[in-house]
Amino acid sequence: MNKFQRATSLIEEYYKNNIVINLSPAYGYRSRCEFGYKNNFYTMYSPSGEIIYLDVFAVARPSIQALMPKLLGHINKSNALKSKLFQINFRSNRKNKVLVSLVYHKLLDDEIKRSADKISNVLNISINLRSKNNLYSTHNDLLEDDIEHLKSILYQTDQSFYQPNHFHMPQMVTKAMSFVEDPSDLLELYCGSGTFSLPMRKLFNKIFATENNRQSIRCLKKSINEQNIKNIFHARLSAEEVSELFNGRIFTRMKGINITDFNFSHVLVDPPRAGLDEDVIKLINKFENIIYVSCNYETYSRDIKNLASYKIKNIEFFDQFPNTKHLEIVSLLSKK
């Protein structure tokens, strides 16, 4: 049984219609990649735990693929850059600008900073050097991503979550937006840097977006300020803290935002693989419509079972990670 059959079998009790499957190219789709560094090569681990040495990665976006061997050559020629280096991360935007992060088990001295500046200019990339409590950026440490199709400019850091599939990210947002009917205000949990909330500002009167990651909130704030957006409000709260907020707890992080000023018609949740905990399930049960974006069909089916007063009104699969067991679900649940 493949992952599509498995996911469908878990959900068929709650949704009887055929489910559309959106496929992705098997190569050249990842705009976010993380590798170890050892013996002058990038490293990954096989499912069995064996180390894999490589100098290029076919799954990565072409902009990252083209850069990987060039960057590796420069690093291997520099004692300052290769010494105590243990991780190399890549992020690429839709205009093929690449942000590289080099992570070290040592202090960042002037020599390594000069070396990074030189390579940054030669390869026309941005480099973040990181060690414990220390950051040096050759340029801005944020990567801008102009999603023209969604009329939104998003930002990411090397420490914030960002949808990795270059092809599916805008398709997933567009699909979620197409599910919305009779919108008023939107509550979003796990909002990240605003992948869904920024485009959805066009649909809803007001949006209250919440996220616990400081760097993600930093990126969201930058998008809101630079695009002069007036109807997105945000707070650095975990989904569990939002549950406490609705139960009357006062948070100084709300900074004057009053939850009673919103008329929520929809809630959007895009949780990690662990899915929704009991308190969040109780919270979202208060809303007429739930936009549930999931990266784990096992926990999704478990959560659907615990949302027994809802029916799946719309649902589609997105094969964000071809040739793996993972897929993404975009769905709309409405009160029965």
Contact 272, 192 (CB under 8 A): no
For residue range 226-281, list pLDDT tens digits in order.
Answer: 999 999 999 999 999 999 999 999 999 999 999 999 999 999 999 999 999 999 99
Parts of the chain belonging to CATH 2.40.50.1070 = 32-143
Q: How many Cα atoms are found within 13 Å in the side-chain-facing hemisphere of 58? A: 5
Q: State residue 25 phi and psi, 5-degree precision.
A: -55, 145
pTM assigned to the model? 0.95
Spans in the chain with pLDDT lower than 70: none
Residue 240: C-alpha distances to residues 45, 95, 230, 253 (Å): 33, 36, 26, 14
Contact 143, 156 (CB under 8 A): yes
Which top CATH class is 32-143?
Answer: mainly beta
pLDDT of residue 47: 86
Q: Quote helix, strand, coil % in the chain, to nearest 5.
A: 30, 30, 40
The pLDDT mean for the chain works out to: 96
CATH code of 3-24+167-335, in short, is 3.40.50.150
- Both tokens of residue 323? 């040739």
pLDDT of residue 248: 94
CA distance 34 to 125: 17
pLDDT of residue 1: 80
> Which residues are catalytic, by number?
295, 328
Q: What is the DSSP code string of 249-299?
A: ---GGGTT--GGG--EEEEEE---TT---HHHHHHHTTSSEEEEEES-HHH
Parts of the chain belonging to CATH 3.40.50.150 = 3-24+167-335
- Could you give the maximum distance between any two Cα atoms of the chain, in Å? 64
CA distance 101 to 108: 13
Cα–Cα–Cα angle for 164, 170, 172, rounded to 5 degrees: 85
CA distance 252 to 245: 11
pLDDT of residue 149: 86
pLDDT of residue 251: 96
CA distance 137 to 9: 48
What's the per-residue H, E or C state across 140-209?
CCCEEEEEHHHCEEEEECCCCCCCCECCHHHHHHHHHHHCCCCCCEEEEECCCCCCCHHHHCCCCCEEEE
